Amino acid sequence: MPAFLENLLWVIGTLVACAIVAWIFRFCLRLIPATWAKPFNDMPLTASFGLLVVILYAVVSLLAPIIAPFGEREIVDAEYLPWDTTYILGTDNLGRDMLSRLLYGAQNTVGIAFLTTGIAFIAGAVPGLLAATLGGWVDQALSRTVDVLMAIPPLIFALLLLTIVGTSITNMVIVIALIEATRVYRLARAVAAGVVVMDYIEAAKLRGEGLVWLIGREILPNTAAPLVAEFGLRFCFVILLISALSFLGLGIQPPTADWGSMVRDNATLITFGDITPLLPAAAIALLTVAVNFVVDWMLHRASGLKE
C-alpha cells in the first residue's frame, strides 16, 4: 500500500502545516495592542486557523478579478488540460482556466451565500424578536406557521418551490432565504423569550418605551451573541444548500463560475484519477469547517463570559 501511505503522509503533513500557520497567525494577532488583542489570548489553534481562512476567503472574493490570471468565462485553450505552468490547475470541460474560475467562484458562491444568509436573517430575526416581545396571537400565528414550514425537509421544499417559480439565481436566493428564515426565527424567538421576562425589560416597559426601543436597545444587545453565532452556522447551511442545488444543476447557472456546478461539470475527471474537480468541493468544505471552528470558539467565549 505505498500509494495509501503516501496519501496518509500528505494528510498528516497538511494538518501539521495548518497548525503551524494557525500558530503564527495567533502569535501575530497577540502583537496588537492589549485592549484589542484581549479576545485572542485564549483563542485555541482551531479558531485562529478558522479566522485566518475566513479572512483569506474574504480577501480572495473581493480581489478575484485582480488575482485571477484569466477571465471568468474566457475559453483559453483545449479542454481538460493537465496542471502546468500556464494553467496552474489545468482547464475545465470547456477549456476555461480552472484556477481563475475557482477564484471567481469565491466571489460568486460566497457572495450569494452571504447575501442569502443576510436576507434569511432579517426575515427570520425580526419576526422572531417581535413574536417574543408581543406574545399573544402574533406569537401563536407566526410560531405555528413556522412549525409547519419546518416539518418539510429543506432540500425537498427548495426543490418543490424551484419547480414552481423556475430556476434562477434570484429565485434560489429568495427560496433558500425563506426556508432558512424559519430556522432563524425559531432561535431568535427562543433566545428573546428568555430576555423579555427580565426585570429591566419590565422597567423599560413601565418607563413607557416604545416597541422599537424595546427591541432595538434592550432585547437585541442581550441576544446578540447567540444570534451572531447562529449567523455563522446558518451561513454554513446556506452555502451547503446552494452548492447542493448548483451541483444538481438547479442553482447558480453556467457560465457563472460556481463551486457546486464546477464539481458537476468536471466530475468525469475523478474516475480517471485526477483530483482537480475535488478542489471546488474542498473549497466549500474548508470554508464551512473554518466558520464552524470560529463559531465554536465564539459560543465558548459567550458562555464563559456569562458565568
Beta bridge partners of 97: 91
- CA nearest to 227, candidates 302, 297, 293: 302
Examine residue 270 and tell whether it contacts other proteins (CB under 8 A). Answer: yes
Residues touching other proteins, count (CB under 8 A): 47
Q: For other proteins, which residue of 85, 275, 306, 307 counts as binding (CB under 8 A)?
A: 275
Residue 220 or 289: which CB sits closer to other proteins? 289
Q: For other proteins, which residue of 2, 33, 136, 273 counts as binding (CB under 8 A)?
A: 273
Q: For other proteins, which residue of 70, 104, 121, 157 counts as binding (CB under 8 A)?
A: 157
Examine residue 153 and tell whether it contacts other proteins (CB under 8 A). Answer: yes
Q: Which of residues 94-133 bind other proteins (CB under 8 A)?
A: none
Task: Give the position of cell 416597541.
Answer: 211
Examine residue 44 and tell whether it contacts other proteins (CB under 8 A). Answer: no
Binding mask 68-87 for other proteins (x = CB under 8 A): --------------------
Taking the C-alpha atoms of residue 259 and residue 287, their distance in angstroms, rounded to an integer, is 12
Task: Give the position of cell 442569502.
Answer: 116
Beta carbons within 10 angstroms of residue 96's beta carbon: 24
Where does residue 265 rank: exposed (0-12), middle (13-18), buried (19+ CB within 10 A)? buried
CB of 300 to other proteins, least distance (A): 13
Which range, of 32-40, 56-64, 128-136, 146-154, touches other proteins by CB under 8 A? 146-154
> What would the DSSP string read from start to end of 50-107?
HHHHHHHHHHHHHHHHHH-SS-SS-B-SSTT----SSSTT-B-TTSBBHHHHHHHHII
Examine residue 252 and tell whether it contacts other proteins (CB under 8 A). Answer: no
Which range, of 20-28, 85-93, 144-152, 204-212, touches other proteins by CB under 8 A? 144-152
The answer to whether 177 and 116 have CB atoms below 8 angstroms apart is yes
> Helices 259-266 and 98-105: crossing angle, nearest 10°?
150
Examine residue 278 and tell whether it contacts other proteins (CB under 8 A). Answer: yes
Q: For other proteins, which residue of 117, 182, 243, 261 counts as binding (CB under 8 A)?
A: 243
Examine residue 5 and tell whether it contacts other proteins (CB under 8 A). Answer: no
Residue 93 or 292: which CB sits closer to other proteins? 292
Taking the C-alpha atoms of residue 103 and residue 65, their distance in angstroms, rounded to an integer, is 8
Q: Which of residues 201-220 bind other proteins (CB under 8 A)?
A: none
Examine residue 247 and tell whether it contacts other proteins (CB under 8 A). Answer: yes
Which residues, 6+ apart, have CB-to-CB distance to 6 below 8 Å? none
Beta bridge partners of 91: 97
Interface with other proteins by CB under 8 A: which residues?
A: 46, 148-149, 151-157, 159-167, 236, 240, 243-244, 247-250, 260, 263, 267, 270-273, 275, 277-278, 281-282, 284-285, 288-289, 291-293, 296
